[in-house]
């Protein structure tokens, strides 16, 4: 079965994964905002450690009302813009469309389901170092794999086809238990996104300081323990996973995480889903994410200074 894809949010994440699918021959329709006119004329350029490519011509749009109905919608918006989905999604949905939220945090799918009770929803966790480096121009610096999982898909087999398409496009993909996968991604996102903003620095500088490494590990262990409590024994995320993540980051290309870039450009920070929701979820099971609560308050203070 050949799937028709849409990308809502063609930035560092949507531009890369949608771009890889399109380059491999899949039919992909891209929604752009500020770059629409530029991309229509010049195409979408991806500079990647795995090989540069240019999509030209490209199925580019500045409104979903002009897009066809698609089988799979990859949502790669900042979660701070998820309130827009109520209007963006309906024109590109048919009754069996699967929407995959390639976003960071917890509770994203549940919130979307409230607005679209009958929608087939999945989640995606991207392990990638990428950023938008110019108009219609994505830079991919390291990693690139993605994990996906069903939240409410009536036909889970479609995710197997998505996995096959991504694999064929050169993107390593796994299908995992979604809630567990979201907690495991938070083991990286909570410490590195937050500390890069609070300390105003990049991943390599955080990793090159012994005291900061110790703090990062303590925060990671708190995420793991909170996730395991929320999973009521189903997740069994080992505490050694913190050391695996630290080792992965140690060898990663020096990188400014997405929240650091949002801070640098005075954009809203993704505090709600990356910090507040995990704190609330763990609290439901009697576990207090005390270090993460401090991070959340610091980030809200920092954001209030420039928004």
Catalytic residue numbers read: 185
Q: Where are the alpha helices (DSSP H) in the chain?
A: 14-23, 36-42, 85-88, 108-115, 157-168, 178-198, 203-207, 210-230, 240-250, 258-264, 271, 277-284, 290-306
**Rounded distance between C-alpha atoms, residue 4 and residue 72, angstroms:** 6
Quick check: helix, strand or coil at residue 124?
strand
**Rounded distance between C-alpha atoms, residue 295 and residue 223, angstroms:** 12
Among 230, 194, 13, CA closest to 100: 13
Retrieve residue 121's tokens.
């929803």
**Rounded distance between C-alpha atoms, residue 121 and residue 55, angstroms:** 28
Among 73, 66, 115, CA closest to 94: 73
Among 42, 242, 25, CA closest to 135: 42
Among 40, 20, 18, 42, CA closest to 30: 18
């Amino acid at each position: 079965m050949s799937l028709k894809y849409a990308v809502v949010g063609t930035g560092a994440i949507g531009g890369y994964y949608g771009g890889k699918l399109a380059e491999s021959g899949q039919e992909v329709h891209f929604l752009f905002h500020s770059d629409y006119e530029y991309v229509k004329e010049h195409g979408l350029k991806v500079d990647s450690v795995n090989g540069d490519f240019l999509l030209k011509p490209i199925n580019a749009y500045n409104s979903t009302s002009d897009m066809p109905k698609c089988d799979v919608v990859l949502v790669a918006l900042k979660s701070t813009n998820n309130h827009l989905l109520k209007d963006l999604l309906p024109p590109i949905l048919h009754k069996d469309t699967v929407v995959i939220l390639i976003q960071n945090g917890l509770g994203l799918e549940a919130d979307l389901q409230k607005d679209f009770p009958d929608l087939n929803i999945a989640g995606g966790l991207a392990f990638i170092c990428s950023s938008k480096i110019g108009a219609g121009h994505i830079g991919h610096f390291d990693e690139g794999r993605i994990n996906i999982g069903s939240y409410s898909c009536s036909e889970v087999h479609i995710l197997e086809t998505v996995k096959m398409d991504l694999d064929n496009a050169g993107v390593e993909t796994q299908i995992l238990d979604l809630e567990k996968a979201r907690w495991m991604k938070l083991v990286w996102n909570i410490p590195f996104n937050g500390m890069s903003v609070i300390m105003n620095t990049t991943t390599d500088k955080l990793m090159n300081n012994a005291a900061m490494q110790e703090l990062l590990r303590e925060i990671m262990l708190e995420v793991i323990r909170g996730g395991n409590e929320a999973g009521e024994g189903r997740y069994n995320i080992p505490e050694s996973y913190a050391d695996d993540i630290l080792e992965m980051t140690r060898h990663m290309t020096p990188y400014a995480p997405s929240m650091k870039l949002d801070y640098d450009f005075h954009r809203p920070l993704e505090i709600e889903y990356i910090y507040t929701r995990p704190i609330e979820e763990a609290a439901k099971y009697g576990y207090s994410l005390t270090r993460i609560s401090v991070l959340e308050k610091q980030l809200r203070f920092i954001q209030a200074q420039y928004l």
